[in-house]
Structure 1
Amino acid sequence: MSNKIIVGSEEWCALPGLGIKAIKARVDSGAKTSSIHAINISTSKREDGTWVSYEVHPLQGGRKVALLCESKLIDRRVIKSSNGETEKRYVVREQLQLGEQSWEIELTLTNRANMGYRMLLGREAMGSKILVDPSSTCCLGEMSDDEAKELYGHVEVPRSGLKIGLLASNPNLYSNQRIIEAGQQRGHEMYFLNVKQCYMKLDASQPEVHYRDGRILNDLDAVIPRIRPSMTFYGCALTRHFESLGVMALNTSEAITRSRDKLFSLQLLQKNNLDIPTSGFANSPADTTDLIDMVGGAPLIVKLLEGTQGKGVVLAETRKAAESVINAFKSLKANLLVQEFIKEAQGKDLRCFVIDGKIVASIERTAAPGEFRANIHQGGTASLVQISPEERKLAIKAAKTMGLEVAGVDIIRSSKGPLLLEINSSPGLEGIETATGIDVASAMIDSIEKRLGWKKETA
């Protein structure tokens, strides 16, 4: 009993390995795991494993004291919070200093900005070392906020490069992780920003973009929009707001909106004399017969205008099947295109990755057995390919027509020559980087650097 530390319901402690000299923790024996307030969390691979970097504001109620921390990742766990919500969190192991004693504890990383304490000390970390007196507070010594601030002095997250926000929905996607990693390797501050958790202040004198923890994001140098189709309206509105603040967007809101409208994009390509598969669009089921004849009859492709990654794309092999699919979609009030089927392509197409008017990588995609369309997300494969000058010119002009600085341009080889299938404003990186070995993510960061005139300082 005499060897145990007696603590109250809250205590000042330290995490020396992270440079955290003072942080007030809520002592809670009812909680199994310990946690610390962390934002802008990202991971990177190193020789000794995976490391996680994160920003900590150790003092409650303010962000002036900001520490950039790094820890070796030991696990990811699903944690149930006090309000009943579950969250998958990164887990790290750090040295805890409590009074005159110190030992290693596990910490989960989570945003605690809306909690009463920036750290929670759970029972696993207490072990057999602590006795809790819930009627007391700060048994190991009280400290005022001013005294805590003095311990840190003037501490800011070191800034050596640009501040770049990645606007997306899933931080665990290969493409998003690679972009964050590439930016950090080039010395930039990279922030993953969930589109849903950003919100805007519209004001003539002081417009702002806020994040879920109340952070104001107006000081970003650039944003990289990677907006999922279901979030196109809000994501483009958010990108447009950043643009109004003078924040550079790698792809503009206007270009993304244009490329996401399949019908409008095909009309723009046609207007600029770029070859596309013969396509048809109608509103009334009475037009179905002529619509099928318009694209050369069956077999033909039926596409939902809102489809993506191969979803909402159907091959109708006979006229009867085509009529059934078209009329079924129309009965659901769905907007659709019918398009000629290029049989000679044999389930293959080209993906050309265009950045700043240049093709940085190209692959040939082959459909999975039993599928008619090449799609890596549905079991297709990708391989290195040499494209022709005509295909190169077509891809570059297509991206320019859409106004996209970064684009995945899909081309199909037909007996009439190369035809444009689609232009993607948020192309995936995994298939093309794996097949070609080209660091496409770094080429995207390089584009931002060039457009902002940023050059890395040399010693």
Structure 2
Amino acid sequence: MSETTLKIIGSEEWCIFEELAIPAIKARVDSGAKTSSIQANNIKLKEKGNEEWVSFEVNPIQDNRSISTKCSAKVFDKRLVKSSSGISEVRYVIKTPVTLGDDTFEIEVTLANRDAMEFRMLLGREALNNRFMVNPSASYLASDFTEVEIKEKFKHIVKEKSGLKIALLASNPDLFSNKRIIEAGIARGHEMVFLNVEQAYMKFDAEEPQVRYRGGNVVDEFDAIIPRIKPSVTFYACALIRQFDAMGAYCLNSAEAITQSRDKLLATQIFAKHDINIPITGFANSPLDTKDLIKMVNGAPLIIKLLESTQGKGVVLAETTKAAESVINAFKSVKTNILVQEFIKEANGQDIRCFVVNGKVVASMQRQAAKGEFRANIHQGGTASKIKITLEERKLAIKAAKILGLPVAGVDIIRSNKGPLLLEVNSSPGLEGIESATGLDIANIMIEAIEKKLKFKQL
């Protein structure tokens, strides 16, 4: 087909997959990507005769987990793909017919976790070749659907609300993790409410304790509270969590557990007391003790951590003894509390994040530091990939979360010549990296944990 006879489509188009029972899914048209991909959850491999098939679920409408289509297709291929966020994963590839406007044709599609993306599908250049030209300034030239038409197409699979009333206590409703938890709760039929920590306030009363929201509205009758607390509001948020607990709501992670996990010094002391292996760590008040403090953690290079650091910020590698003395004494001169910790050279900038829910490691990923960095952190250019952890690492992660009393925790472990060592435990672990690396629906697992605790059964 010549260029003059190619049909013109926009940079965004609606696609239909009849064989997958997907009546409509919005796709980003991207000629820079070779293969098309579609958002897929709960991917499971199965055998039919001598063939490999894969079952999966698609949520075709962005930010709406209540609409879910169960699909099944023959596996065409498996490919190692590196996402735009730097996460490498093996993806299954299927072949299936797609309808775009008046045209229906077969394309290859990779099954991918696209929850963090604006579109649940990407239409790559293999699907476009010899068929379409793209006008990047236009949208929905092949076909368009109104909101009413979309509701009609999906009305047979929309779930009715018949569940719990759950509040997500956090600061930013647009964060990936917060959006995912809200979606997961709605998808399971629960009423989900976002509560901004800084817009809530309390009434202390023996007979009628209350939480009120800006404007004077009384906030009550929640079955459960999911705390997602940023460090700067820990003190106030924990007061709110205690108040909800006094009002009879189940809090997924208690105020006491969150407070312990956020106090790095206290947490380190608790871990040491319970025989959990950690990198050798030192803490001192006076600059007069700096030289011995450095020797105590086996000398330079060593790690210096601010007690209030998060997401790798406030963590410094001192490569020489002189540099270590300068940094430690500089922090002490401005009365900033720090921990000094031995540097595990053999880890090669890698660590492991284990996601623990109710005493089980439900997912784990390996994080690799960016080039030139010493600490693995996907917020600072690092990469992540799925990993199978050892039994010893699994036991360490579970024990660390249990000791702090956290039903939900992100446990960070580093591999050393002495075996696995615990780095820290996060009481509000992010979901984006772990869900992307593993393909697992962690948000759904968290909602299931609340249902189990409250003995709620889906109808």
Instruction: Give the shorter-chain TM-score range.
Output: 0.5 to 0.7
Aligned residue type for 1:196: E
Aligned residue type for 2:204: L
Gaps of 5+ in 1: 1-44, 54-72, 74-92, 96-157
Aligned residue type for 2:430: G
Superposed CA deviations along residues 153-187 of structure 1, whole A, max 9, x for unmatched, are xxxxx851101000111111110000000000000
Is 1:179 paired with 2:199?
Answer: no
With a CA cutoff of 8 Å and minimum separation of 6, indicate the structure with the bigger relative contact order.
2
Match of 2:283 in 1: 281
Q: 2 CA distance for matches of 1:346 and 1:49?
A: 38
Match of 2:169 in 1: 167
Distance 1:330 1:432, change over 3 A: same
Q: 2 CA distance for matches of 1:177 and 1:240?
A: 24
Aligned residue type for 1:333: K
Three-state SS of the structure 2 residue aligned to 1:184 is helix
Measured after TM superposition, the shift of residue 304 of structure 1 is 0.3
Superposed CA deviations along residues 233-277 of structure 1, whole A, max 9, x for unmatched, are 001111111111111100000000011110110111111111000
Match of 2:60 in 1: 47
Q: Which has the larger radius of gyration?
A: 1
- Count of matched residue pairs: 313
TM-score, normalized by length of structure 2? 0.66
Superposed CA deviations along residues 79-130 of structure 1, whole A, max 9, x for unmatched, are xxxxxxxxxxxxxx999xxxxxxxxxxxxxxxxxxxxxxxxxxxxxxxxxxx
Superposed CA deviations along residues 417-437 of structure 1, whole A, max 9, x for unmatched, are 000000000000000000000
Q: Do 2:64 and 2:183's aligned partners in 1 also have CA atoms closer than 8 Å?
A: no
Match of 2:386 in 1: 384
Is 1:330 paired with 2:332?
Answer: yes
Match of 1:252 among 246, 251, 254: 254
Match of 1:292 in 2: 294
Q: 1 CA distance for matches of 2:170 and 2:290?
A: 38
Q: 2 CA distance for matches of 1:232 and 1:367?
A: 28
Match of 1:341 in 2: 343
Q: Do 2:65 and 2:187's aligned partners in 1 also have CA atoms closer than 8 Å?
A: no
TM-score, normalized by length of structure 1? 0.66
**Superposed counterparts of 1:41-120, under 5 Å:** 47=60
Superposed CA deviations along residues 398-431 of structure 1, whole A, max 9, x for unmatched, are 0000000000000000000000000000000000
Aligned residue type for 1:193: L
Superposed CA deviations along residues 185-239 of structure 1, whole A, max 9, x for unmatched, are 0000001111001110111111101112432222000000010001110011111
Three-state SS of the structure 2 residue aligned to 1:338 is strand
Distance 1:215 1:160, change over 3 A: farther
Three-state SS of the structure 1 residue aligned to 2:276 is coil
Q: Do 2:209 and 2:247's aligned partners in 1 also have CA atoms closer than 8 Å?
A: yes
Match of 1:201 in 2: 203
Match of 1:447 in 2: 449
Distance 1:52 1:363, change over 3 A: closer
Superposed CA deviations along residues 61-88 of structure 1, whole A, max 9, x for unmatched, are xxxxxxxxxxxx9xxxxxxxxxxxxxxx
Aligned residue type for 1:309: Q
Measured after TM superposition, the shift of residue 51 of structure 1 is 6.5
**Superposed counterparts of 1:265-414, under 5 Å:** 265-414=267-416
Q: 1 CA distance for matches of 2:64 and 2:188?
A: 17
**Superposed counterparts of 1:142-153, under 5 Å:** none
Match of 2:115 in 1: none
Q: 2 CA distance for matches of 1:206 and 1:403?
A: 28
Three-state SS of the structure 2 residue aligned to 1:427 is coil
Q: Equivalent pairs: percent with the same residue?
A: 67
Q: 2 CA distance for matches of 1:385 and 1:355?
A: 18
Gaps of 5+ in 2: 1-57, 67-117, 119-145, 149-159
Aligned-residue RMSD, C-alpha: 1.9
